[in-house]
Amino acid sequence: RNTPKMIIWTVALLSIIFLLFSVTSFFSTATVTIVPKVARVELDDTYIARKSALPGELQYEVMTLQKKMSKQLDATETENSEIKASGKIVVYNNFSAAPQKLIINTRFESEKGLTYKIPESIIVPGAKLVGGKKVPGSIETPVFADEAGDKFNMKVSNLKGDFKIPGFKGDKKYDYFYARLKTDIVGGSSGKVKKVPTKILSDARAELRTNIKSELLKEAFGTKPKSSVLFENAYYVDYASLPDAPLGADKIEINESAALYGIIFDENALSSYVAKKKLSDYNDAPVDLILDENTTSELSNNSKIKPWESDTINLSLKGGANIVWTYDKALLQKSLVGQKKNNLNRILSSYPGITEMRAEVRPYWKKSFPNKPEKIKIENFTAKK
């Protein structure tokens, strides 16, 4: 009771100031704006990329996606049809280790006496020993029915017994050469059949292919690895019309399939490769290649085989780009924790990919960064072109 009031008020005021300082320090935050090193380049270059690249070469991978779509159409026209059924079989040689040539139009006969022929000559590999057991040699081949008609259509699930080669009758080979269905044999018809008008059928197939391509592209860009680059037109689509399926007397289901082959590049590897080609003083530092919106890309292939089956492909880039140096954001946050603001330039010297750092600490009277990395926000600033 005898303590002077002035001392009491002074202690209370100091306590309040200390409390406010403690609270604001607890909620202290910082925003650091980074100006990364940037090199402007103009591109009109073609780079050779390989599936199996050596050190220093550009590598690519092929991402494969497949999709099928179908559509039901009204069959409003009638036509005479004489179509031979077709499909695929696997021919087996369990006779000897010697390969056997079968000439074009070699006949294969089903258990029910239906005859099919092969459209070109094949060589059936000889049998061999695997783990002490005899394993027949085999080869896959297309076949077509000897005559037109739907009686030659058959499904894998319905076939009983193997196909035999009538030409080998009377020879020991007859019992050791045989074939089995690889796919359904379909498409055979004879006589008047209902069909979809040509224009409607053509438009429907084109619509299906457009829809399949759209779905495949959406899936490709949505599922590609995050660390990979898939350019807007760096893909190939291989279409195939599947056999139509009759649905009663007046409807037909048409089926289309497609495979998309996306040519993808590792983002870091591609950025580093272009930087090395365009910048004489580049020293293998991690960089990002930021293409302008109007920069175009194109793939080409000099071989006659399908591009996605090739081992080499050409990537052409034309337009402008920024090569932007990158840095370890988490490491930078940790290196700033608890540091005084006037140490910023010293910290900057440890990051050669950063040309400038600006820091704003809150509350404004704080002279050092927060003591927790998550309270330090890192933002990138890149000057406009």
> Using one digit for the tens of pLDDT, what is the confidence trace for 145-164?
999 998 999 988 877 789 99
Cα(163)–Cα(132) distance, integer angstroms: 27
- DSSP state for residue 291 in the 8-state scheme: E
Nearest to 89 by CA among 185, 227, 187: 185
Across residues 334-350, what is the average pLDDT?
Answer: 89
Question: Residue 21: which H helix or E strand, with range?
Answer: helix 5-26
Q: Which two tokens stand for residue 144?
A: 């077509």
pLDDT exceeds 90 at position 381: no
Does the pTM of the predicted model rise above 0.75? no
pLDDT exceeds 50 at position 247: yes
What would the pLDDT profile of 207-221 be if each residue is shown by its tens digit? 999 999 999 999 999
Q: What percent of the chain has pLDDT over 90?
A: 64
CA-angle at 136, arms to 130 and 142, nearest 5°: 135
Cα(41)–Cα(124) distance, integer angstroms: 57
What would the pLDDT profile of 311-323 be if each residue is shown by its tens digit? 899 999 999 999 9
pLDDT exceeds 60 at position 2: no
Place of tokens 């495949």: 216
Nearest to 381 by CA among 28, 31, 30: 31
Neighbour-count burial for 316-337, b at 16+ CB within 10 Å, e otherwise: ebeebbbbbbbbeeeebbebbb
* pLDDT for res 14: 65
Nearest to 41 by CA among 297, 228, 280: 280
- DSSP state for residue 374 in the 8-state scheme: G
* pLDDT for res 331: 92
Q: Are 180 and 139 in contact (CB under 8 A)?
A: no
Per-residue pLDDT band for 255 (boundaries 50, 70, 90) equals very high
* pLDDT for res 5: 63
Cα(182)–Cα(127) distance, integer angstroms: 19
- DSSP state for residue 132 in the 8-state scheme: T
Place of tokens 């005898």: 2
Across residues 170-185, what is the average pLDDT?
Answer: 94
* pLDDT for res 206: 96
Per-residue pLDDT band for 12 (boundaries 50, 70, 90) equals low
Q: Give the burial class of 339: count Cβ atoms within 10 A of its Cβ; 0-12 exposed, 13-18 middle, 19 or more buried.
A: middle
Note the maximum CA span of the chain.
132
Nearest to 143 by CA among 92, 99, 85: 85
Place of tokens 């580093």: 272
CA-angle at 71, arms to 68 and 72, nearest 5°: 145
* pLDDT for res 178: 96
Across residues 352-375, what is the average pLDDT?
Answer: 87
Q: Which residues pair with 66 in a beta bridge?
A: 259
What would the pLDDT profile of 327-341 be if each residue is shown by its tens digit? 999 999 999 998 898
**Integer distance in angstroms from the first to the last C-alpha of the chain?**
73
* pLDDT for res 265: 97
CA-angle at 119, arms to 116 and 125, nearest 5°: 90
Query: Residue 249: which residues within 8 A CB-CB, separation 6 or more?
Result: 75, 194
Across residues 7-35, what is the average pLDDT?
Answer: 68
How far are the Cα atoms of 96, 101, 135 from residue 132, in angstroms, in the given order? 15, 26, 9
**Residues 88, 92, 93, 98, Cα dihedral to 10°:** 50
Q: Which two tokens stand for residue 25?
A: 């320090």
